[in-house]
Amino acid sequence: MDTQLLISGVIFGLSIGSIYFLTAIGLSLCFGLMRIISLDQLFYYAIGAYMTYAVSLYTGNVWLGALVGLVVAGVLSFAVERFIFLRIYERDIAFTMITSFGILIGGVGIIKAIWGLVPRPVVMPVMAQWTILGTEIPVYRLIVVVIAALVYAGIWLFLNRTITGKAIRAGIESVEHVEGLGINVYRLFTITFILAGTLSGLAGGLHAPLIMVDPQMGLEVMPFIFMVVIIGGLGSIKGTLISALLVGQVVSIGSLIYAPLAQMAPFAIMLLILLVKPTGLFGSTMLKR
């Protein structure tokens, strides 16, 4: 394989892996603390992308659009958590998953009603390119990777250096013990859900300039997000990052070797990892709530 093509593939894999991480981290956090599979995170991802498109269309500022997108996604996730999930946290995990999928499908319908069915382009906010080992690399893809790294560092600091973050970590291990300390776990649920929705919106906003924004975009990335969460281990932040980068590289390099590998190889890797470690790379044994 040509060296320049390989370098381009690696950078592409890092950028798409960063998008997968920002989207999957919401699913991982929600499962880790609340034991729900929050497929509606993919709706907030799509909303983040469409708000980026809409704001950048009228203002010419993609970064402002991404900021508005993550704020709107956070507000929507708060509303969904307050009016829907707060009432069903005690239900079976399959019930919450079906409910969240219904929210996702309903959200796709809302997007279609507002913006239509035609895919929309978003202008790349940074057109510059850097030359790395003789290969021209879009600076924007490097910016996406840096933002994902900063988000991971921020989440790590939040979970390990703040009282609320430590309570969330404790809740991931045992909600009953946290309740025994007199902490309002439902407040932790709300904080976690808003954080997850905001990061999903950020993922959509950052991904928008790299793709054509369309109503089905959340459904299109769903298999890869599931693979990321399962490979890394449900509830593991570190596992989500590592598996996102792994899946991103497999999709990118696989498409350079043989296009169908971009779709098949991640599933094969997921199956191999689950055969060796059924809970994923960094997952813990599933506990009942």
37: in domain: yes
285: in domain: no
282: in domain: no
pLDDT in tens, 98-114: 999 999 999 999 999 99
289: in domain: no
Answer whether residue 235 shows pLDDT above 90.
no
- Please give the model's pTM, rounded to 2 decimal places: 0.91
90: in domain: yes
d(CA 218, CA 210): 15
pLDDT of residue 172: 64
d(CA 219, CA 231): 19
d(CA 124, CA 152): 24
Answer whether residue 75 shows pLDDT above 90.
yes
d(CA 226, CA 28): 10
Which of 141-145, 173-177, 234-238, 269-273 has maximum average pLDDT?
Answer: 141-145
Answer whether residue 284 shows pLDDT above 70.
no
CATH code of the domain covering residue 32: 1.10.3470
d(CA 5, CA 140): 18
Average pLDDT, stretch 111-120?
Answer: 93
pLDDT in tens, 28-52: 888 877 778 889 999 999 999 999 9
- Cβ atoms of 88 and 30 within 8 Å: the answer is no
Structure tokens at 184: 């309002």
- Cβ atoms of 25 and 192 within 8 Å: the answer is no
pLDDT in tens, 124-167: 998 888 887 777 888 999 999 999 999 999 998 988 888 887 77
Answer whether residue 196 shows pLDDT above 70.
yes
Question: Facing residues of 223 across strands?
Answer: none
| Least confident range of 6-10, 33-37, 169-173, 223-227 | 169-173
Counting the structural domains of the chain, the total is 1
Q: Tell me what percent of the residues of the chain surpass a pLDDT of 70.
A: 93
Structure tokens at 153: 């560092």
Q: What is the mean pLDDT of the chain?
A: 87
286: in domain: no
- Cβ atoms of 244 and 42 within 8 Å: the answer is no
214: in domain: yes
pLDDT of residue 175: 67
288: in domain: no
The whole domain housing 271 covers 3-276
Name the band, by pLDDT with cuts 50, 70 and 90, for residue 281: confident
Structure tokens at 225: 């997000």
pLDDT of residue 287: 44
- Cβ atoms of 77 and 198 within 8 Å: the answer is yes
Name the band, by pLDDT with cuts 50, 70 and 90, for residue 244: very high
pLDDT in tens, 54-74: 999 999 899 999 999 999 999
- Cβ atoms of 81 and 17 within 8 Å: the answer is no
d(CA 117, CA 157): 41
Helix axes 41-59, 3-34, angle to 10 degrees: 120
d(CA 243, CA 228): 5
Nearest C-alpha neighbor of 35 from the set 87, 90, 78, 99: 90
For every residue of 209-276, DSSP letters joined together read GGSEE-TTHHHHHHHHHHHHHHHH-TT-HHHHHHHHHHHHHHHHHHHHH-TTHHHHHHHHHHHHHHHH
